[in-house]
Amino acid sequence: MSAPRVADARGLRSSAAAVVVAPGVVVSMSRQGLPPRADRGAEKSLGVGVSRPTLTNRWVEPTGGVAAAAPGSDERLGIGPLNGTVRGDLAAVQALLAEFLGEVVPLGWGNAWYAHGAKVGPLGARVYWAPRLAGEHRRTEVLFEITQSACDALGFARSCELARRLAVLGPHWTRLDAHWDDRDEHQTARGVFETFKAGQYHGRVKKARWQEDTDDGECVWIGSRQSGQLLRVYNAAPLHGEGSGVRWELETRREHAAELVARLLLRDDDTPPADVFWATVRGLVDFVDRPEGADHGERYELLAWWAALVAEVPRVPMKLPRSPQLLEAKMQWLRDGVAPSLALILAAITGDNGQEGRAAQVRRVRYLRQLVQGGADRLSADALALIPVARRPTVQLLARAGSGAL
């Protein structure tokens, strides 16, 4: 009996069974052995349909057409890599990954952060344990890295099942990429870049980068890794097989990765996964028909090609809860992060002719007063809320410290 298939509202299907393929080309997700970066300043105009991710585009994994271009496959939505850490039973993590991905084979080495590692299955998945330079609370930490190739071979539905099984172990999700192959090629990577540079977009992102290499590889980056969300657009065929079209690839990290895992992989309603993907992408950036020089704050109609791509899917930005500020955390940061530098600076302050004595002590006290005054002047309302109301007039006194009020 053939494996069950799950259809979404767009008529797309996801296989619930693993696809048996020949091993593809897999790029390691670790920091070792990375090729040099591309010349970010280089730009050249190429024809329609020739762009693809640059060879130096870090962490874009050439799967060689694994699953995405498998005969008879009509799956457009995929994920990978899927990374995270678990604190607990190493054997349980390895057994779970082996059930989905294949045999666990020790490597005999680890990586920059973990002393030991093993490969899982034939498509580049890894598991690492025994963290280097870690506190006692991290001694049982296990890192898993599931490549895009491995997720492609599983198919979207079974990848979701693996994520649900991992969620039972209480992981800290560190990265999830999701992608959609636009086989109708509503827009090219170059066209997306030019649209953004022309200001015809709406969203929280403020920059886009056109990246190339010497092998005619091209890719537009929108956003940044530092923000936790990055959108890449490129022609997928050279890396993922003929017929893949233009790939829209959303990379998320840390809290954003955890949010995308919950939205896309762990949801228990009947919302089509493709709609979830496009709603999240629209939450990051929308392409609109804004006249040149018009105000970004106004609402405009979607560009025709973008409207055809996202259909009626609404914008759903990732609004992560702000971590509460704690006075104890600020005190610890002051003690651990600032005190050593402050001690060094104070030691460098001397009296006349570089001598110790009362003049040196006076100058050090004056420096500290001015430092506190500058900090008190810049305190926000959120920061003031950390101390009792009765103590807040003290801040005004501290703000006058530099003028000799203390």
Cβ(183)–Cβ(29) below 8 Å: no
Say if residue 292 is in the same domain as residue 333.
no
317 belongs to a structural domain: no
Count CB neighbours of 321 within 10 A. 6
Residue 2 binned pLDDT confidence (cut-offs 50, 70, 90) = very low
Lowest mean pLDDT among 36-40, 333-337, 370-374: 36-40
**Taking 50 as the threshold, does the pLDDT of residue 230 lie above it?**
yes
What is the DSSP code (8-state) at residue 288?
Answer: B
Note if the bond before 81 is cis, omega within 30 degrees. Answer: yes
Provide the mean pLDDT of the chain. Answer: 77
As a whole number of Å, the CA-based R_g of the chain is 26
Given 310, 335, 370, which residue is the final one in a domain?
310
Say if residue 251 is in the same domain as residue 379.
no
Say if residue 302 is in the same domain as residue 351.
no
What is the DSSP code (8-state) at residue 337?
Answer: I
**Taking 80 as the threshold, does the pLDDT of residue 53 lie above it?**
no
Mean per-residue pLDDT, 355-384: 82
Say if residue 304 is in the same domain as residue 349.
no
Cβ(325)–Cβ(240) below 8 Å: no
Cβ(159)–Cβ(151) below 8 Å: yes
Overall number of domains in the chain: 2
CA–CA distance from 137 to each of 24, 140, 141, 309 (Å)?
A: 38, 8, 8, 46
Given 247, 275, 310, which residue is the final one in a domain?
310
Say if residue 282 is in the same domain as residue 332.
no
11 belongs to a structural domain: yes
Spatial neighbors of 144 by CB under 8 A, at least 6 apart, are 83, 84, 85, 86, 93, 97, 125, 126, 127, 166, 171
Q: State the Cα–Cα distance between residues 300 and 396, nearest whole angstrom.
A: 47
Say if residue 30 is in the same domain as residue 96.
yes
143 belongs to a structural domain: yes
Cβ(146)–Cβ(163) below 8 Å: no
Say if residue 300 is in the same domain as residue 348.
no
Q: From the centroid of its chain, how far is CA 322? A: 17
318 belongs to a structural domain: no
Domain span at 113 = 5-310
322 belongs to a structural domain: no
pLDDT above 90 as % of the chain: 42
236 belongs to a structural domain: yes
Say if residue 98 is in the same domain as residue 243.
yes
Q: Please report which helix (H) or strand (E) contains residue 160, including its range.
A: helix 156-167
Residue 149's pLDDT is what? 94
Given 310, 336, 369, which residue is the final one in a domain?
310
Residue 17's pLDDT is what? 31
Say if residue 101 is in the same domain as residue 245.
yes
Cβ(218)–Cβ(51) below 8 Å: yes
Say if residue 232 is in the same domain as residue 300.
yes
Residue 298's pLDDT is what? 66
Say if residue 286 is in the same domain as residue 349.
no
Residue 240 binned pLDDT confidence (cut-offs 50, 70, 90) = low
Q: State the Cα–Cα distance between residues 185 and 242, nearest whole angstrom.
A: 13
Reduce the DSSP state of residue 189 to 3 states and report it: helix
Residue 357's pLDDT is what? 81
The residue written with tokens 């890449």 in the block is 232
Residue 15's pLDDT is what? 31
Q: Which of 11-15, 213-217, 297-301 has the highest mean pLDDT?
A: 297-301
Say if residue 395 is in the same domain as residue 352.
yes
321 belongs to a structural domain: no
Distance between start and end Cα atoms, the chain: 84
- Higher per-residue pLDDT: 182 or 23: 182
Lowest mean pLDDT among 107-111, 288-292, 384-388: 384-388
Residue 264's pLDDT is what? 95
316 belongs to a structural domain: no
**Taking 90 as the threshold, does the pLDDT of residue 40 lie above it?**
no
